[in-house]
Amino acid sequence: MNTHDYELTQAGPDYKFSRILAPLAKHRGNISPISGLHHPNAFGIAHSATQTWLTAAKHGPTDRNTISVDQLIAGVTGPKTRFPSLQISNQGQPLAVSADGIALPAHRQSGDAFKALFSEPTGGIEKQRRQLQRRESMLDLVLEDAKVLAKNLSREDRGRLDQYLTAVREVEVRTKRAEEWL
């Protein structure tokens, strides 16, 4: 596959679609094509490039991933929406990465994403509210234990714990946000 086939042939307000993208022309008023998201480090490694497709991070055992472009956009548009971003991946491989380099879990089935967006929770809204409050309490307990644990860890392990706690904080924020939208 030639990824250049998926780029615009002319940029700017009068952009031109490539042959492969031509069917999108009828949606021109509703989309904002973005080009140039590939990077030289991704060529030749095929499917393993998915982990850095939206971040342009280097590949290697000691390289650290960075925030993905979709999460940069979500940082701007997310506060105005129910879900700051929606991660979907047909193989379950995460494509989206947080500012801390943590891969965000993705929906593997389009039906799961649809349910998250449009279905009423099983058992009703009040049951979901109770579940969210219980999750928030569990997160508080984890954070308390982690603070005690951090005192006895090496610098490297504290860094890993900090990554974990950042992920926990992100779950906490999503939990509060979900509760606000009930």
Query: Domain ranges in the chain?
Result: 1-36, 47-119, 122-180
Reply yes or no on whether the pLDDT at 40 is more than 70.
no
Asked if 120 contacts 153 with a C-beta cutoff of 8 angstroms, the reply is no
Distance linking the first and last C-alpha atoms of the chain: 44
Reply yes or no on whether the pLDDT at 11 is more than 60.
yes
- Calculate ∠ Cα 8-32-23, nearest 5°: 60
Instruction: Look up the pTM and report it.
Output: 0.59
pLDDT in tens, 106-152: 888 888 888 888 877 777 778 877 777 777 767 777 777 888 888 88
**pLDDT, position 72:** 92
| Packing angle of the helix pair 125-150, 155-180 (nearest 10 deg) | 160
45 band by pLDDT with thresholds 50, 70 and 90: low
| Residue 110: Cβ within 10 Å count | 10
Asked if 179 contacts 132 with a C-beta cutoff of 8 angstroms, the reply is yes
Q: Which of residues 66 and 22 earns the better pLDDT score?
A: 22
Mean pLDDT computed over every residue of the chain: 80
182 band by pLDDT with thresholds 50, 70 and 90: low
pLDDT in tens, 157-180: 888 888 888 877 777 777 777 777
Reply yes or no on whether the pLDDT at 26 is more than 90.
yes
